[in-house]
Amino acid sequence: MPLPAIAVLMPGDMGHAVGRVLREHGHRVLTCLAGRSDRTRGLAETAGLEDTPDLEALVTHAELVLSILPPGRALAQAEAVAGAMKHTGAAPVYVDCNAISPELTKTVGEAITSAGAPYIDAGIIGLAPGKGPATRFYVSGSDTRPMEALNGKGIEVHALGGEVGAASGLKMCYAGLTKGRWTLQTAVLLAAEQLGLSEALKQEFEFSQEAEYAVMRERIPRLPADSGRWVAEMEEIAATFADAGVPSGFHEGAAEIFRVLAKTPFANETRETIDESRTLEEAVRVYAQYLPERAESD
C-alpha cells in the first residue's frame, strides 16, 4: 500500500528539511506556497515538495499535516487549516510542531478538533535533518501512532503519553536553556560593551571560560538572522514558566534581547547569507547601537 501523503506547513529551514527526508523515505510530501516568499519557494523546490494551489486541496490529499513555522503564527495557521477542513469535509491528522506553550497548544488543538480532525501536540528538538544528530520529535496526545510511524524516517519520534501539552512543555524547557543561554551571554557582552569593559572581559573569558567563550564567538554573531521569530518563542517560554509557578522574568528579558537583535541590519540575513567573517566584537558593537536606552539618548 502507498505510504500516507504528508503536508508540511511551512517549508522554512526546518520544514523543508523534514519534508525532504520524509520524501526520501517514500512519502508524498505536499505544501502550499500561496503568498510565500521566493526563499521559501526555493527551499520547497530543493526539497522536492509538491505545491498545492490552496489549503483546501492540501487537506483533501494529505493524511497528516505537520505545522512547522514561527510560534507567533501557530494559532492562525491552525485556524486556517481548520477552516479548509470544514469547507471540504476532510479531516487529516494535524500535528502542531511549533515552539508554543502547553496552554497555547491546547487552544490550537481545540481549533483542529472542532473541525473533526485528530490532533497531536509535538515539539522539535535539534537541528534540521541533515545538519547534525537525529532531529527529535516529542509527541503527546490521545493517539500519537501516526507520528510514531515516522520514527526512523530521517527523524526520531518519542511519545510522551496522552496529555496534550506535554510535548510542548518539554520543548519550552529545552529551549529555555539553549536560546535562553544565548540571550544571557549576549546581555553580558552588551553590558560590558556599554561599560567599556569588553576587552577586559574577553581576556578573562579566554582565561577562565575558554570553551564557553569559543561557543559564544561562534553563535552570537549569527543570532540576528533568527531573532525576529525567536521573540515569540521566548514569550511562550515565559508564559509556560509562569503557568508552572516559576518566575518568568528571565525569558521576558530574553525576548527583549532578541528584539534588539531584530532591529540590527544583520537581521536581514538568512541562514544562507549570514556573514561568516563577522567577529563577535564587531557584532556586539553593532548590537549595542540598538539598545533602547542608547537610542533614546541619541
Domain boundaries, the chain: 6-164, 169-297
- Band of residue 25 on the pLDDT scale cut at 50, 70, 90: very high
pLDDT-based confidence at residue 294 (cuts at 50, 70, 90): low
Tell me whether strands 29-31 and 50-51 are parallel, antiparallel or unpaired. Answer: parallel
pLDDT, one tens digit per residue, over 250-291 is 999 999 999 999 999 999 999 899 999 999 999 999 999 999
Which fold would CATH assign to domain 169-297? Answer: N-(1-d-carboxylethyl)-l-norvaline Dehydrogenase; domain 2 (1.10.1040)
Flag whether pLDDT at 110 surpasses 70: yes
Q: Does domain 6-164 have CATH number 3.40.50.1360?
A: no
Q: pLDDT-based confidence at 124, cuts 50/70/90?
A: very high
What is the reported pLDDT for 295? 44
Is the pLDDT at 298 greater than 50? The verdict is no
Q: Is a pLDDT exceeding 70 seen at residue 20?
A: yes
For a pLDDT cut of 70, what percent of the chain falls above it?
98
State pLDDT tens for residues 175-193. Answer: 999 999 999 999 999 999 9
